[in-house]
């Protein structure tokens, strides 16, 4: 049985103030996952091992900046996902020496690479002894941003559904404490996204609304400090609805509306459900 150590590291790049690095020990080698920055606690955690393999779940600054400190060390090997190593080089200047594919087993503790697209399209996790080190797939007490510019709501929902059907024993997230009630938490995150989608549909009609207006309307809290993130996540939701032909989006991607044929369909559905004594969530007219 391998040992997994969570090492929270303070970093200004993190939206929560700290990002979790993980160190997995296996005999003389170790696996370092998501080094956010150089830190004495992280340096001490890998110091006693003859060799350190370094991987990241995705190339956001708060999960990868420590590569500039630990990557050049003589006793380390930096790994990157096959065909996607350029993101690491662009973010850190470090070129991965070895690559892995989805499903690969890494040299330490049989850690297996798991595809987790959503937060970013190339996001991965690492499964070890029933624990899934999952980066920004989930947090215990809050949701994660899915930005239109680099993520996908559709991919995120598919990832959640796959893990709900076959959950790991524990999730080790990139921010905050571990998650033990995995299926319950993943279901909650899934329903949160579906609810947001319904709120967007209920808010829209044939008159275009800006993505900024939509974000302000559908979020149930002030957006101080996270306004840009909320707007981009709302745009990602709208992007999914556009792919499903439920919503139209302007070429500038700033304005969204429901096409007339979808509004007619929605009105017919409302009348049908009213005859049955109920109106489904997301279809209630203004």
Q: What is the pLDDT of residues 172-207, one digit of tens each?
A: 999 999 999 999 999 999 999 999 999 999 898 877
Q: What is the pLDDT of residues 54-111, one digit of tens each?
A: 999 999 999 999 999 999 999 999 999 988 899 999 999 999 999 999 999 999 999 9
Of 84, 140, 82, 134, the closest CA to residue 111 belongs to: 134
**Residue 246 scores a pLDDT above 60:** yes
Q: What is the pTM of this model?
A: 0.89
pLDDT band at 275 (very low <50, low <70, confident <90, very high): low
Residue 259 pLDDT: 85
Which range among 37-46, 181-190, 212-221, 228-237 shows the weakest confidence by mean pLDDT? Answer: 212-221
**Residue 235 scores a pLDDT above 90:** yes
- The mean pLDDT of 141-164, rounded to a whole number, is 95
**Residue 23 scores a pLDDT above 60:** yes
Choose between 237 and 219: higher pLDDT. 237
Question: Would you list the domain boundaries of the chain?
Answer: 3-180, 202-275
Residue 276 pLDDT: 60
Q: What percent of the chain has pLDDT over 90?
A: 70
Residue 281 pLDDT: 54
Residue 62 pLDDT: 94
Instruction: Look at domain 3-180 and name its CATH class.
Output: alpha beta
pLDDT band at 222 (very low <50, low <70, confident <90, very high): confident
**φ and ψ at 124, to 5 degrees?**
-130, 170
**Burial level of 89, CB count in 10 A (0-12/13-18/19+)?**
middle
CA–CA separation, 241 and 107 (whole Å): 41
8 A C-beta contact, residue 117 and residue 152? yes
């Amino acid at each position: 049985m391998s040992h997994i150590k969570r090492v929270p590291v303070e970093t200004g790049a993190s939206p929560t103030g700290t990002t979790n690095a993980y160190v997995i020990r296996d005999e003389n080698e170790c696996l370092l996952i998501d080094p956010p920055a150089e830190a004495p606690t992280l340096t001490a955690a890998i110091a006693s091992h003859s060799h350190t393999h370094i991987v990241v779940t995705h190339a956001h600054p708060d999960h990868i900046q420590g590569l500039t400190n630990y990557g050049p060390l003589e006793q380390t090997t930096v790994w990157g996902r096959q065909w996607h190593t350029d993101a690491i080089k662009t973010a850190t200047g470090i070129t991965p020496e070895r690559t892995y594919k989805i499903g690969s087993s890494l040299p330490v503790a049989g850690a297996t690479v798991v595809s987790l697209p959503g937060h970013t399209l190339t996001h991965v996790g690492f499964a070890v002894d029933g624990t899934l080190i999952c980066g920004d797939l989930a947090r215990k007490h809050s949701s994660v941003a899915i930005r239109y510019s680099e993520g996908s709501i559709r991919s995120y929902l598919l990832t959640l559904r796959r893990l709900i059907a076959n959950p790991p024993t524990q999730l080790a997230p990139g921010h905050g404490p571990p998650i033990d009630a995995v299926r319950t938490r993943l279901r909650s995150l899934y329903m949160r996204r579906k609810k947001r989608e319904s709120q967007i549909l209920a808010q829209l009609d044939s008159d275009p609304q800006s993505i900024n207006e939509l974000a302000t309307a559908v979020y149930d809290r002030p957006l101080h400090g996270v306004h840009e993130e909320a707007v981009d996540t709302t745009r990602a939701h709208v992007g999914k609805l556009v792919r499903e032909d439920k919503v139209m989006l302007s070429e500038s991607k700033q304005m969204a509306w429901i096409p007339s044929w979808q509004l007619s369909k929605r009105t017919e559905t409302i009348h049908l459900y009213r005859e049955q004594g109920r109106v489904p969530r997301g279809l209630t007219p203004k």
